[in-house]
Amino acid sequence: NAGVTQTPKFRILKIGQSMTLQCTQDMNHNYMYWYRQDPGMGLKLIYYSVGAGITDKGEVPNGYNVSRSTTEDFPLRLELAAPSQTSVYFCASSSMGTSTDTQYFGPGTRLTVL
Amino acid sequence: GQQVMQIPQYQHVQEGEDFTTYCNSSTTLSNIQWYKQRPGGHPVFLIQLVKSGEVKKQKRLTFQFGEAKKNSSLHITATQTTDVGTYFCAGRGGGADGLTFGKGTHLIIQP
């Protein structure tokens, strides 16, 4: 199993550009999450999904959109990139309902908006 | 909403010294998890605590969950250079949403 994979690893955007961060998991997890981590800081939840077709806002959803058409994929969309969105983005998945709902993180996408 | 506070933000220790990070929640937690993030890496799950007063050990790491299920600690005995990184606690409340992460404690070890 590859676990959680994210693409791209790095990206530089100009202000106003848009992009989609891809996230795929092959563990058949029902829960998936998107976090952002600013330099030296903790993780802030952007959006999460409890299953295909269901998404919900986290702590910092403004400027982002998500979709969950399949169990495996949970892409994050930035429509109008702003410098405040410069961050490292982590996707994670977990299998809620088990005794240990560990979150498995992808390697991250490092995004710079200039 | 639920808040999880973690202290200290940074901790410098000499190799071989002990290290402790503390986590406090504004609400009672159903469970608490600890993660480690190496510099430039991604968070990796260490352990989950569920029961009030629970204590778990992993080699030199000792994890505790408070009696009121609102606080937790991670203690590392005799730190090694491989322990360098940021340690996050993450608490889950009673709802179905994601974990609330603390801001992490950055452990810096001087040889």
pLDDT tens readout for residues B59-86: 999 999 999 999 999 999 999 999 999 9
Predicted pLDDT at B25? 94
B46 CB neighbours in chain A (<8 A) are: none
pLDDT score of A27: 94
Chain A residues with beta carbon closer than 8 angstroms to that of B101: 35, 42-45
- Region B5-30: mean pLDDT is 95
State pLDDT tens for residues A58-96.
Answer: 889 999 999 999 999 999 999 999 999 999 999 999 987
A1 pLDDT band, cuts 50/70/90, is confident
pLDDT of A99 above 70 = no
Distance CA B73, CA A84 (A): 33
CA B33, CA B63: separation in Å to the nearest integer?
Answer: 10
Give me A44's structure tokens. 């802030």
**Amino acid A65: pLDDT:** 97
pLDDT classification of A101: cutoffs 50, 70, 90? confident
pLDDT of B91-106, one tens digit each? Answer: 887 655 568 889 999 9
The answer to whether residue B30 scores a pLDDT higher than 60 is yes
| Nearest CB to A102 within list B45, B50, B106 | B45
| Distance in Å, alpha carbon of B25 to nearest chain A alpha carbon | 15
DSSP assigned state of B82: G
Sequence-ordered list of residues with C-beta below 8 angstroms from that of A46, at least 6 positions apart, any chain: A34, A35, A36, A58, A59, A60, A61, A64, A66, A76, A89
| Residue B5 pLDDT exceeds 90 | yes
Residue of B45, B50, B103 with shortest CB distance to A42: B103
In 3D space, the residue among A8, A4, A12, A70 whose CA is nearest the CA of residue B44 turns out to be A4
% of chain A beyond a pLDDT of 90: 81
